[in-house]
Structure 1
Amino acid sequence: MKTIDDITNFIFLESNPKKADIIFIPGGSYAELAENAAELWKNKYAPLILPSGKYSVKRGYFPNPSSKAEKYNGTYHTEWDFLKNVLIKNAVDENSILKEEDAQFTYENAFKSREITDKLNLHINKAIICCKSFHARRCYMYYQLAYPDIEIIICPSDVQGINRDNWFTTENGVERVMGELMRCGSQLKDYIMEFTKE
């Protein structure tokens, strides 16, 4: 069905990894995102990793990890705490991990990360984003707004058993992907109008 193909191609962005200046992790409680970032760092795709996140504005606290809680079973106060711990347990040098732990939604992940990189005077030409596969489009759009002049490389991870080939076969997959589709429109319309006025 062409409509499913169109939605899939819009939501599930993915690039082959390439050398970059930094790896961004836009929050979350899934270990796979930081594990993916750790592998890319170990393979020298980028020298720095910036996990971002406090906790969901809706929840108001950091829950237990959503995956691999038996392996990453520490006490975590923020998404950043959790993601940093995953990175370190996967052999990332602590000195390569930057800190942003105030963001509570994707827009803030992007723009608060920009505040950090600007404060550190980092010159970024290319950046990798390690996110959930069905979160890829929204992450791309917000980080593109925050960093309009850089190349963004999306290296996602499949979580909850949802991927581009099967999302439309389960109720959870359909809910997640259609939710992302709605957010891409409703959350971004004001920002798009604002940026196109400039």
Structure 2
Amino acid sequence: MKHAAFLKQITDFVFVENEPEKADIIFIPGSGFPQLAEEAAQLYKKGFAPYILPSGRYSITQGHFGGVQEKEALYPGKYHTEWEFLSRVLIENGVPKEAVLKEEKATYTYENAIYSRKVTDKARLEIRQAILCCKPYHARRSLLYYQLLYPDTRFLVCPVKESSIRKDNWYQTEQGTKVVLGEMERIGIQFHEIIGEIRKEEPIDK
């Protein structure tokens, strides 16, 4: 492909993916897509982590839970929060209730990381290594936020395999291009203030 090298740079930045390893916890950023919890459940049942922490109230832009985005027939019912929905999916897929931690305040990705940290700190969990389950195109932004809140933790990103927008096809459709470049735009916009705060906390010696 003529522009393969150009596209690869964007692909490699946005679509982070690692092989799973033993971890202390599996994190799930808030979502109405059941695939995130399904993937986390499979990793749990394979023994990769003893806890799963789904996070999320609902999207700040909607002001309410937007509903089940896919596979509604498999997970029927009325859900008030993303956590309520994701925890239901986990339990339906064989994860015991005692392994599912609760975070039900977050309304966007940064808050997913912020409030998840509060939950693990309150539970006195030492998170040395963690798995992050998310949509493939949401991988980099999710990782950046969670790494910001867990600076001493090694993260392994294990995105869902079942997604219409993937690293091998995102540029082939207008929708895929819009979503992936939108992630890059959000990273540029959302991290200005954060990096400013980092400069204040960690000034460069002259």
Q: TM-score, length-normalised on structure 1?
A: 0.98
Q: Shift in Å at residue 64 of structure 1?
A: 2.0
Q: Is the 8 A contact 2:15 2:138 kept in 1?
A: yes
- Indicate the RMSD between aligned Cα atoms, in angstroms: 0.9
Matches within 5 A, 1:132-143: 132-143=135-146
The equivalent of 2:55 in structure 1 is 52
Match of 2:160 among 146, 157, 161: 157
Q: Is the 8 A contact 1:21 1:46 kept in 2?
A: yes
Match of 1:29 among 21, 29, 32: 32
Q: Distance in 2 between matches of 1:160 and 1:38?
A: 17
**Matched letter for residue 81 of structure 1:** E
The equivalent of 1:193 in structure 2 is 196
The equivalent of 2:101 in structure 1 is 98
Give deviations 1:40-87, integer Å, cap 9, x for gaps. 000000000000000000011112211111101121000000000000
Match of 1:168 among 167, 171, 187: 171
Check 1:79–1:69 CA distance in 2 against 1; reply closer, same or farther (3 A cut). same
Is the radius of gyration larger for structure 1 or structure 2? 2
Q: Shift in Å at residue 159 of structure 1?
A: 5.3
Structure 2: segments with no counterpart, 5+ residues: 202-206
Aligned pairs, number: 198
Q: Distance in 1 between matches of 2:194 and 2:100?
A: 30
The equivalent of 2:130 in structure 1 is 127
Q: Is the 8 A contact 1:53 1:104 kept in 2?
A: yes
The equivalent of 2:204 in structure 1 is none
| 3-state SS of paired residue (1:184) | helix
The equivalent of 1:17 in structure 2 is 20
Moved over 4 A (4+): none
Give deviations 1:141-185, integer Å, cap 9, x for gaps. 000000000101100014551100000001110110011000011
Q: How many percent of aligned residue pairs carry the same amino acid?
A: 51
